[in-house]
Chains A and B, each alone.
Chain A
Amino acid sequence: MTKVIFVACLFFPVLLFAQAKKPQPKARAKTGSLTTVSIDRGKTVYSQFCLSCHQADGSGVPNMNPPLIKTKWVLGPKTVLIQQVLKGSQGKVEIDGDTFHNTMPAQAQLTDQQIADVLSFVRNSFGNKASMVTPAEVKVVRAKTK
């Protein structure tokens, strides 16, 4: 409710002083769209490389493929998450007392941008809310991982 009032207050002057206020909403929209575009691209990467194991809703497969919903891996340090994508895993991933056994193939063939996009998508989907991952962050981890 507070948010609605805030938005209303923000746009009311915009309507009154349309000419003068134009640049500000534009700038906001641009920032928002960059984030959205990255997440949208990430969804495409996810569908192609991740979805069949981690599932369309990120719930994974019991005992086999880990879920991506509010887990310590997904919401935790970005470095660990980026490494996971670059190196894959040999199974035995533990989350809250459950163990997930299937191998995850390394996805190092993805570009820094693709990894940033897909991780930003995952960190902001399935009920997750966490900061974006940038290509620069992936680049740093990739250099150290090699």
Chain B
Amino acid sequence: MKKVLFLMVAFALAAAGSAQKPTTDVSISLPAGFSSTVMAKSLGRARHLAVNSNGDIYVRLERLKNGNGILRLRDKNGDGKIDDTTGFGNYVGTGIALKGGYLYASSNTGVFRYKMNGTEPDVAHPETIVKDLVDRGQHNSKSITLDNAGNLYVNIGAPSNACQGQDRVTGAPGQDPCPLLEIAGGIWQFKADKQNQSYAEGVRYATGIRNVVGLDWNTATNTLFAMQHGRDGLQDYKIFPDSIAVELPAEEMLEVSKAGDNFGWPYCFYNQFEAKKVLNPEYGGDGKKVGRCADVKPPVIGFPGHMAPNGLLFYTGSQFPDRYKNGAFVAFHGSWNRTPLNQKGFFVVFVPFKDGKPSGDWEVFANGFAGKENITSPGQAVYRPCGLAQGPDGSLYVSDDVKGTIWKISYKK
């Protein structure tokens, strides 16, 4: 049985002098025993977030709000609501993380960090850790995570759909080899404490990955996990019937077990129905041919296509029931490339893990963000889940980048 909690959410007021827009109720459904509260709303384009040991929430913005790209939210009087908000960092971006006494934040070309003096980041003295990464617009957000050995991992999305000579032109051949793989289409490793690094100082830690927004270091396996956004427009090749085509290729959960792992983009896509990587049509594929894809690494899980996994978090807390420990939460932003069928996603799922591997099917954990069923275009979604973070008490935080809403999800027996 699912317990449904109704959250009263008021739309932003119209400009002064004009009529107030109607209030909309959006219900977030959760498994029995879980409840959610809205910690903050109307923050703007809230992408990823991080929660400090004192409960402060750091939110990364994709569009400046009052000149700030990072918000610090604090609940001073402990009533469960944010009552003290400040901002800093005059650059937009997606990635944010707290590690080793520093706050790390990415722009679309690099990574900065701020020393934490107690609970306050030294906002006047950001250090440039990584710079001059490629930003050609498409897939330019740089997501970050850190391991426990002093390394920083940065996704560099490929500014392309399938590395064709003419991007997104159905039938245009793929470039072979794909030159973008030298500077993008993978995850790069840098030193977490060394300033002014770029490609020359970094290591291409994983390659053949089109674009990643959600990634996390799994402390149980001591490996990097990342959620790939699969290619668009495969259905335009009419290889599969519409009902199958819209589900392809899979959105992949990837585990990088060792430096240099190759996941096959742009040459290959993953067909989750047949559990194998096959050639993309731009590289001679017909939906069946495997070719060079026999040598690339398959995903840990293949989710339905185009759902846009934007947040990944391995749960290490003790608040949630035991089955959630070391399992993965994934925030799906929701699709746009599934016509003529309805769009899909707009929810947070959970994948149970045991001994470092999924121990069961993925399940919807938090749903209802879109505000209605049968979404035909992403613009209809009231909220779109984007970032995930774990609080010091083991609560799960979810951000939305349509209106800038932060939910806190807790469990009580």
Contact = CB atoms under 8 A, between A and B. Distances in A.
A61 B376 CA distance: 12
Interface stretch (A2-10, A35-43, A91-99, A136-144): A91-99
A132 interface: no
Contact of A57 (B62, B161, B376): B376
Given A64-B336, A97-B63, A103-B138, A56 B168 contact: no
B378 interface: yes
Nearest to B402: A62
Contact of A63 (B62, B160, B166, B337): B62
A64 B139 CA distance: 9
Interface in A7-49: none
B377 interface: yes
Contacts of A104: 168
A135 B95 CA distance: 48
Interface string B129-150: 0000000111110000000000
B167 A101 contact: no
B379 interface: yes
For A52, A57, A67, A104, which residue has the most chain B Cβ atoms within 10 angstroms? A52
Contacts, number: 63
Interface in A78-134: 90-92, 97-99, 101-106
B168 A62 contact: no
For B63, B161, B377, B401, which residue has the most chain A Cβ atoms within 10 angstroms? B377
A103 B160 CA distance: 8
A40 B378 CA distance: 25
B136 A55 contact: no
B137 A57 contact: no
A144 B170 CA distance: 26
B62 A61 contact: no
A56 B379 contact: no
B136 A91 contact: yes
Interface in B52-80: 62-63
Contacts of A57: 376-377, 379-380
A88 to B, nearest CB: 9
Nearest to B138: A101
Contacts of A102: 138, 168
Nearest to A51: B339
B169 interface: yes
A27 to B, nearest CB: 39
B336 A98 contact: no
Indicate the size class of the contact surface on chain A.
Answer: 20 to 34
Q: Is chain B's interface secondary structure helix, strand, loop, or mixed overall?
A: loop
A59 B377 contact: yes
Contacts of B336: 53, 55, 61, 64-65
A105 B167 contact: yes
A52 B138 contact: no
Contacts of B236: 52
A56 B376 contact: yes
Nearest to B172: A105
Contacts of A51: 339
Contact of A101 (B140, B337, B378, B380): B140
B23 to A, nearest CB: 22
A103 B167 contact: yes
B46 to A, nearest CB: 13
Interface string B201-240: 0000000000000000000000000000000010010000
A63 B137 CA distance: 9
Contacts of A62: 378-379, 401-402
Nearest to A97: B63
Interface string B303-341: 000000000000000000000000000000000110100
Contacts of B166: 105
A98 B137 contact: no
Interface in B108-145: 136-140
Contacts of B160: 103
A55 B161 CA distance: 18
B48 to A, nearest CB: 15
Contacts of B377: 55-57, 59, 61
A54 B331 CA distance: 24
Contacts of A97: 63
Interface of B: 62-63, 136-140, 160-161, 166-170, 233, 236, 336-337, 339, 376-380, 401-402
Given A59-B379, A63-B62, 18 more contacts: A53-B337, A56-B377, A59-B377, A61-B377, A61-B378, A62-B378, A62-B379, A64-B336, A91-B136, A101-B137, A102-B138, A102-B168, A103-B138, A103-B160, A103-B161, A103-B168, A104-B168, A105-B168
12 contacts: A52-B337, A52-B339, A59-B377, A60-B379, A61-B336, A91-B137, A101-B138, A103-B138, A103-B161, A105-B166, A105-B167, A105-B170
The 5 A-B pairs at the shortest CB distance, nearest first, are namely A59-B379, A101-B137, A55-B377, A91-B137, A103-B167
